[in-house]
Structure 1
Amino acid sequence: MPERARPTRTAVPAALVAGLLLTACGTTPKPDAPAAPTAPEKTTATKSTAPAVKAAATLGGPGTACALPVSFGLAEGWKPEAVDDPENPEFAALTRQGPAVVRCEVDAKPTGNVGYLRVWTVAKGPARAALEGFVKAADKPSAVTYRETRAGAPAATEVTYTTHGELTDETKEQRAFAVSAREGAVVIVHLGGLDTDEHRAILPAYELAKSTTKPL
């Protein structure tokens, strides 16, 4: 396929703002919210009925849209865009969730779905603790289930949970995985969607990213 043009970088992409509104402000930190109980490890997450997808490009390496501590495969049609200056406190409500800072978002809209893969980093691990802090800062997380797995080569911690958005008054599925990266940092890859149906429809792109993750 022809090489995709590098997306224009802005201080905070308009897609990020729109995406967060579509997901009912699910990434707005809520530091005072009580920790949600963790469901038993044996709980099985809902799986997508959509077919698996193959990588059409790689994100995270040299010359890609987002400079990240890891790389992973992108499904065809997904559009990546780096978040420039995410440490700016003016945009903290949009760019931070618990201990994590968003670095890149990959938009599913060109494929006909409404959702995002967002890549977050945490300065120091371990991965499980970073992911727990990320989830606790979500919008009313519940049905939280953690499990140890692998993301490509590295060991990883994965979480599935639901959030309840105040703007939409709807509960929807969420999931993310976290891996340790260079110099003790942690990378969190999160999959959101407009609603649970959209989330399940784009789940294969998340599974592709998880299965192809490599530290850089």
Structure 2
Amino acid sequence: MEHPIRIMAPAAALLVGGVLAGCGEVEPLPEITQGARPTAAPATTAPKATATAASASSAVAGASLGGPGTACALPVSFTLAEQWEPEAVKDPENPEFAALMRQGPATVRCEVDAKPAGRVGYLRVYTAGKGQARTALEGFVKAEKGSSAAVYRVTEAGALPATEVTYTVHNEVMEETKEERAFAVATPKGTVIVHLGGLDTAEHRAMLPAYELARTTLKLG
């Protein structure tokens, strides 16, 4: 069933913009080995890759998302990790909730809850207008309060060319910083951004296999 995007207390859950922060000092982002990652020329120096058990493992495939008859109607489809539960965001164009539904040029359409799989976080899917995927992704990251250290790279999402970003978000109130990651693809119906947050950096890294499963299985329609 469709539902309005969740709004919960900072100590209990994540907000749509991913403003809940996680563990203090940020360690370098792990490099995911699944899928091709040609080297781009980022404006900033990429963090040194570190291997973790979470990033090295693969997620067990579950249901498909985005196609006809699935929980969310999207310009793309991809495979979800087992036990991750998707729900469409109700009335995302409602101007009364624009601050929650929009991040920069993008509007949230679907959120996939990791809690049934034992994790605290969401994989969220946004759509933006037609144009370059990187341009939309840059606007998306800049619109997130406390975001910094963004590193962009050329990659692939399934067989589609994509741009991916890794960055950090700092919460001044909690004085904590956490890692986040997203990728964007251009489609005939506009740009699609798939974002992974998490309660903190540890949860984010533990959920990376689910994110990679979505990226590597993505296709149009």
TM-score bracket, shorter-length normalisation: 0.7 to 0.9
Question: What residue in structure 1 maps to residue 195 of structure 2?
Answer: 190
Question: What residue in structure 2 maps to residue 34 of structure 1?
Answer: none
1:168 Cα shift? 2.7
**Structure 1 CA distance for aligned equivalents of residues 207 and 157 of structure 2:** 18
Which runs of 5 or more residues in structure 2 are unaligned? Answer: 20-41
TM-score of the two chains, using structure 2 as the length reference? 0.82
- CA RMSD across the alignment: 2.1
Question: What residue in structure 2 maps to residue 109 of structure 1?
Answer: 115
1:17 Cα shift? 1.7
Where do 1:4-83 residues align within 5 Å?
8-10=1-3, 12-13=4-5, 16-18=6-8, 22-23=13-14, 26-27=17-18, 38-40=43-45, 42-44=46-48, 48-50=52-54, 51-83=57-89
Contact 2:17 2:100 (8 Å CA) reproduced: no
Question: What residue in structure 2 maps to residue 91 of structure 1?
Answer: 97
TM-score of the two chains, using structure 1 as the length reference? 0.84
Q: Secondary structure at the match of 1:18?
A: coil
Contact 1:162 1:173 (8 Å CA) reproduced: yes
Contact 1:27 1:96 (8 Å CA) reproduced: no
- In proportion to residue count, which structure has more helix? 1
Q: Secondary structure at the match of 1:113?
A: coil
Which runs of 5 or more residues in structure 1 are unaligned? Answer: 1-7, 29-36
1:44-81 Cα distance to aligned partner (Å, 9 max, x none): 55555222113211100000000000000000010000
Contact 1:24 1:165 (8 Å CA) reproduced: no
**Structure 1 CA distance for aligned equivalents of residues 62 and 192 of structure 2:** 22
**Structure 2 CA distance for aligned equivalents of residues 180 and 90 of structure 1:** 28
1:182 Cα shift? 1.6
Contact 2:16 2:101 (8 Å CA) reproduced: no
Deviation larger for 160-169 or 55-64? 160-169
Q: Secondary structure at the match of 2:53?
A: coil
